[in-house]
């Protein structure tokens, strides 16, 4: 070993710390980047998640190792050595807990994409997973620091009961949000309508409320989870995205109903084949419903791929049907009311 390092022990300690920082930067900028580039070329997603989870950690780990090695080389008092040991434990356990939280959140998001379900990607689920991992990491840290966990858990439980009484509304919304997510009947991205009249796309389920974006105004509606869980909700995205559009039509009593049905079906088929948003291999249906006051009323059923597709399909169908009825001389009558006026009764002369 060089003489100047022997003469000045602090110099070797500084070198250990700087060496740890250098190895951390080298690992992060070269090795981790190389692994990240390689993971993009593989079919597995786990390696991508792992690389993303450890991002920034090599610098922390190598620097901590350098500090620890420097502390071992120097002559430290027992109290200082204990501080260094506890600090190293805190950094290692804390960083591993952060990596586990990133992995848990990433697994939930990847599962949501692969499983084609938007349920697990809600903010509430991600936060709950991170909270559970964080609590487990904290308990492991306390145990490694020599702190008794059992008395702490007992005190936390008693304090939690008092907090639960003070935060009844908040906890009610929290458990309602968990119930909404676990039931799978309302998912992020679904188009829903609440019994009170609010409707739109569910954008997120959080700890206290669910956010809904209206269509087409794109305004944001905030609904407490307890209200949503206890309301009658119509979900237009379940059990399937496709839905039927009902378009009422009225024709004159003088119309040939066979001809009306044929023309209407032709227009409906043309719309479903050419308008964006219509599901493939679907056919329209025509059903006569009633003899109205001034027309024979029928109902045309058209299929739409999702809730927002219905508006353009209905728009094009009405335009084209009106044009075709005019070409075929099929009358769409105006409402007519016949009023009989009774004159004064003739008086006896």
Res 9: pLDDT: 60
pLDDT of residue 164: 53
Q: Do 49 and 11 meet the contact criterion of CB atoms below 8 Å apart? A: no
CATH hierarchy code of domain 188-235: 2.30.30.60
**What whole-number distance in Å separates Cα of residue 291 and Cα of residue 297?**
6
Phi, psi of 10 (to 5 degrees): -65, -25
pLDDT in tens, 248-268: 999 999 999 999 999 999 999
pTM: 0.60
Q: How far apart are CA 325 and CA 334, in angstroms?
A: 15
- Angle subtended at Cα 343 by Cα 339 and Cα 347, rounded to the nearest 5 degrees: 160
What pLDDT sits at residue 158? 53
Q: Return the CATH fold of 243-327.
A: Alpha-Beta Plaits (3.30.70)
- Report the distance separating Cα 106 and Cα 109, nearest Å: 5
**What pLDDT sits at residue 256?**
92
For residue 51 the two structure tokens come to 């690389």
Could you give the 3-state DSSP secondary structure of residue 74? coil
Neighbour order of strands in the sheet with 233-235: 220-224, 209-213, 199-205, 191-194, 233-235
Distance CA(97)–CA(78), nearest Å, equals 28
CB atoms near residue 281 (< 10 Å): 6
Tabulate helix, strand, coil % of the chain (nearest 5): 55, 15, 30
CA torsion 40-41-46-51 (nearest 10°) is -40
pLDDT tens column, 104-137: 888 777 765 554 444 444 677 777 788 888 888 8
Q: What is the pLDDT of residue 6?
A: 47
Where along the chain do its domains lie? 3-166, 188-235, 243-327
- The predicted pLDDT at position 68 comes to 78
Residue 193 has φ and ψ, to the nearest 5°, of -130, 125
- Is 108 within 8 Å of 126 (Cβ atoms)? yes
Low-confidence ranges of the chain (pLDDT < 70): 1-11, 73-76, 111-122, 148-168, 336-340, 342-349
Alpha-carbon gap, residue 66 to 267, rounded angstroms: 77
CB atoms within 10 A of CB 250: 19
**Cis omega (within 30 of 0) on the bond before 110?**
no
Instruction: Mark residue 40 as left, alpha or beta (left: phi above 0; alpha: psi -120 to 50; beta: remaining).
Output: alpha
Q: Is 117 helix (H, G, I), strand (E, B) or coil?
A: coil
The owner of tokens 């809904």 is 212
Q: What would the DSSP string read from start to end of 260-308?
A: HHHHHHHHHHHHHHHSTTPPTT---EEEEEEE-SSSEEEEEEEEESSGG
């Amino acid at each position: 070993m060089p003489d100047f390092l022997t003469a000045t022990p602090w110099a070797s300690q500084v070198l250990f710390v700087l060496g740890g920082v250098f190895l951390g930067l080298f690992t992060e900028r070269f090795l981790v980047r190389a692994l990240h580039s390689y993971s993009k070329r593989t079919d597995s997603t786990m390696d991508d998640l792992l690389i993303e989870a450890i991002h920034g950690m090599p610098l922390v780990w190598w620097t901590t190792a350098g500090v620890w090695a420097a502390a071992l080389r120097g002559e430290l008092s027992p109290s200082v050595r204990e501080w260094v040991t506890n600090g190293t434990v805190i950094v290692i356990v804390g960083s591993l807990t952060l990596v586990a939280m990133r992995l848990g959140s990433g697994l939930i998001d990847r599962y949501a994409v692969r499983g084609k379900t938007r349920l697990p990607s809600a903010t509430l689920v991600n936060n709950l997973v991170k909270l559970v991992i964080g609590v487990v990491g904290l308990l492991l840290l306390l145990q490694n620091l020599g702190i008794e966990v059992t008395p702490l858990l007992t005190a936390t439980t008693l304090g939690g009961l008092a907090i639960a009484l003070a935060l009844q509304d908040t906890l009610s919304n929290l458990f309602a949000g968990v119930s909404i997510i676990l039931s799978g009947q309302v998912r992020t991205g679904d188009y829903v309508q609440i019994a009170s009249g609010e409707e739109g796309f569910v954008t997120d389920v959080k700890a206290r409320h669910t956010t809904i974006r209206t269509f087409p105004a794109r305004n944001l509606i905030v609904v407490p989870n307890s209200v949503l869980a206890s309301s009658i909700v119509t979900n237009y995205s379940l059990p399937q995205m496709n839905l039927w559009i009902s378009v009422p039509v009225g024709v004159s009593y003088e119309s040939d109903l066979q001809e009306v049905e044929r023309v209407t079906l032709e227009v409906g088929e043309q719309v479903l084949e050419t308008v964006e948003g219509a599901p493939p291999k679907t056919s329209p249906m025509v059903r006569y419903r009633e003899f109205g006051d001034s027309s024979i009323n029928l109902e045309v059923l058209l299929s739409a791929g999702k809730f927002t597709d219905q508006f353009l399909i209905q728009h094009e169908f009405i335009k084209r049907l009106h044009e075709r009825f005019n070409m075929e001389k099929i009358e769409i009558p105006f409402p007519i009311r016949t009023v009989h006026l009774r004159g004064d009764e003739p008086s006896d002369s």
